[in-house]
Amino acid sequence: MFITIAMLVVFFAVMIGVGFYSRKHATNVNDFVLGGRTVGPWLTAFAFGTSYFSAVIFVGYAGQFGWNFGLASTWIGLGNAFIGSLLAWNVLGRRTRIMTQALDSKTMPDFFAKRFDSNTLKVVASFIVFVFLIPYTASLYNGLSSLFNIAFDIPYWVVIAIMAVLTALYVIFGGYMATAINDFIQGIIMLGGIVAVIGAVLADNGGFIPAMEKLSQIDSGSGIAGGFVAFLGPDPLALLFVVILTSLGTWGLPQMVGKFYAIESEDAISKGTIISTIFAIIVAGGCYFLGGFGRLYADSVTYNEATGKPLFDTIIPSMLSNLPSIIISIVIVLVLSASMSTLSSLVLTSSSTLTLDVIAPASKGKIKGEKKTVLVLRIFIVFFIIVSAIIAILKDTYNFSFIAQMMGVSWGALAGAFLAPFLYGLYWKKTTKSSVVACFIFGCGIEILQLIISLSGKNFSGTVLGYIFASSIRSGAVAMVGGLILVPVVSLISNAIAKKDNKKVEELFKCYDKKVVVSEKRALGDK
């Protein structure tokens, strides 16, 4: 306990110190929200990675999918690295930076408003962010209690309050730059922590080969011998849905895409792509690889008495409970780092969206000047953190099924609504406002229907509906992939019906054609 407390005190002191240090980088709206668009590759890459991978992945998803798929769950981490990081940076990074600067856009709803010339889209997108990002933010606290109970005997609400207050302090003082610097520090902790934990768990089972042998002898119930060590696991199709949801989803999440708004230069994008991918391979790949050995601890996992199924948030803590105290301390700091980094990114995204896209325009000029706007931003950061903390406490205390289901559908709703319109808006001049509206309705509608079906307890097994809505993972994947098909189809139809003058769009897309001078190491000359 002494080691853990000492590490936590140092960790918290550094986080708050960074917040105070970063105050000079948060004097105006552009600096507070985007770090002045001068954030380098290391800070941006780590900010992207730590926002991506929270305690939900380490405690919840790693335990759940490791239990279901065995070592094949490692494919989820690799999908996160190569689709959610490498491909996302290559496809979105440069174009997002260029077009959002050309539009002077600071948030995703503002991008939709200026790209498609519609303030209505901005209001609707802001509403979607507000409704679905709060329960997603509340889900970040999941799993903290079971881990903290290993070292401390303190109520769950106290853990949530400490995390919420400390995160609020450094985000309020330093804005995006404080978040980015702390993300870097927290990312280093996550990298070292996951390597140490994997080594300790494997050693606890006699090493990698003996652990594999034990896992291969467990019946997967799929008819595949050694299903939990098979290349694609006992259920490859279900695994594919998880990879799609957790990897492709980052392309449409405001807090993830927002990192590309702030990056400094071409060189920063090139380096950031590599750094972010390596970070994801180690952290995400390591988390899911670790979770793959969860079945070896079936005797110590807590089970639901009614269903007989394991409580997935208890799997990883069960794996760690008998490890040396120094490893426990590292894990606690690791999980706090993962949670606080994602929490800071989410509340900054939520507050900036609500303030800049809804409150400021609705004030009809009453919120004037950079200082007043930054003050309102800070107030809403406090608001979002308090609301998310209260939701998390209520969910844990009273086990509200509605809150739990809202947490489950949030990722799919946000990515399903925003991914396709944002992607096509960057690349395709003929993307229309009608297609954006259609995708908003489709993405949110699918997940609202998922919410209703889950809460009602209706069973559609044996039907297409039953397959799609068997879980929020499947419906979320359908929402995202469906949006990628829906947007071009609706755009082609609406363009055919109403021929519009695209001079504004043509002018906007010239931002990509602007001539720049680069060194020869970046591009060879004609001769």
pLDDT tier for residue 525 given thresholds of 50, 70 and 90: low
- pTM of the predicted protein model: 0.90
Average pLDDT over every residue of 105-114: 92
C-alpha span between 4 and 324 (Å, rounded): 12
pLDDT at 315 over 90: no
User: Which two tokens mark 221?
Assistant: 């119930």
Question: Quick check: helix, strand or coil at residue 137?
Answer: helix
Average pLDDT over every residue of 401-419: 85
Question: Quick check: helix, strand or coil at residue 84?
Answer: helix
* CATH pick for 2-24+40-408 out of 3.40.50.300, 3.90.700.10, 1.10.1270.20, 1.20.1730.10: 1.20.1730.10
CA distances in angstroms from 445 to 448, 460, 463, 476, 480, listed in the order given: 5, 18, 19, 11, 12
Question: Quick check: helix, strand or coil at residue 10?
Answer: helix
Provide the 10 A C-beta neighbour count for residue 519. Answer: 7
The confidence score (pLDDT) of residue 523 equals: 66
Question: Under a CB-based contact definition with an 8 Å cutoff, are residues 422 and 486 in contact?
Answer: no
Of 514, 511, 515, nearest to 115 by C-alpha is 511
Higher pLDDT, 77 or 26: 77
Question: Quick check: helix, strand or coil at residue 191?
Answer: helix
Strand partners, 310: 303
pLDDT at 174 over 90: no
CA distances in angstroms from 276 to 93, 194, 279, 423, listed in the order given: 12, 16, 5, 20
SS3 content of the chain, % helix, strand, coil (to 5): 80, 0, 20
- Helix crossing, 2-21 with 156-204: angle to 10°? 120
Of 94, 99, 91, 425, nearest to 260 by C-alpha is 94
The confidence score (pLDDT) of residue 151 equals: 67
C-alpha span between 483 and 171 (Å, rounded): 33
DSSP 8-state code for residue 26? -
**What is the percent of the chain where pLDDT is above 90?**
36
Counting every residue written for the chain, the total comes to: 527
Of 36, 69, 339, nearest to 174 by C-alpha is 36
pLDDT in tens, 316-343: 888 887 788 888 888 888 888 888 888 8
C-alpha span between 473 and 448 (Å, rounded): 13
Higher pLDDT, 77 or 394: 77
Q: Which residues make Cβ contacts (< 8 Å) with residue 236, sequence separation at least 6? A: 72
C-alpha span between 249 and 243 (Å, rounded): 9
C-alpha span between 184 and 190 (Å, rounded): 10
Higher pLDDT, 287 or 456: 287
Average pLDDT over every residue of 120-148: 84
Of 410, 407, 416, nearest to 313 by C-alpha is 407
The confidence score (pLDDT) of residue 146 equals: 66
Phi/psi of residue 303, each to 5°? -115, 150
pLDDT at 526 over 70: no
DSSP 8-state code for residue 139? G
CA distances in angstroms from 512 to 96, 99, 169, 517, listed in the order given: 11, 8, 39, 14
**What is the percent of the chain where pLDDT is above 70?**
96
Higher pLDDT, 157 or 436: 436
Question: Quick check: helix, strand or coil at residue 71?
Answer: helix
Average pLDDT over every residue of 488-493: 94
pLDDT tier for residue 476 given thresholds of 50, 70 and 90: very high
Question: Quick check: helix, strand or coil at residue 310?
Answer: strand
pLDDT tier for residue 501 given thresholds of 50, 70 and 90: low
The confidence score (pLDDT) of residue 527 equals: 57
Q: Which residues make Cβ contacts (< 8 Å) with residue 472, sequence separation at least 6? A: 405, 408, 409, 411, 412, 447, 450, 454
pLDDT at 144 over 80: no
Angle at 509 between CA 417 and CA 479, to 5 degrees: 15
pLDDT at 445 over 90: yes
Strand partners, 303: 310
Highest mean pLDDT among 17-31, 61-75, 452-466: 61-75
Q: What is the 3-state secondary structure (H, E, C) of 196-248?
A: HHHHHHHHHCCCHHHHHHHHHCCCCCCCCCCHHHCCCCCCHHHHHHHHHHHHH
pLDDT in tens, 268-295: 888 999 999 999 999 999 999 999 999 9
Average pLDDT over every residue of 16-42: 84
pLDDT at 430 over 60: yes
pLDDT at 13 over 80: yes
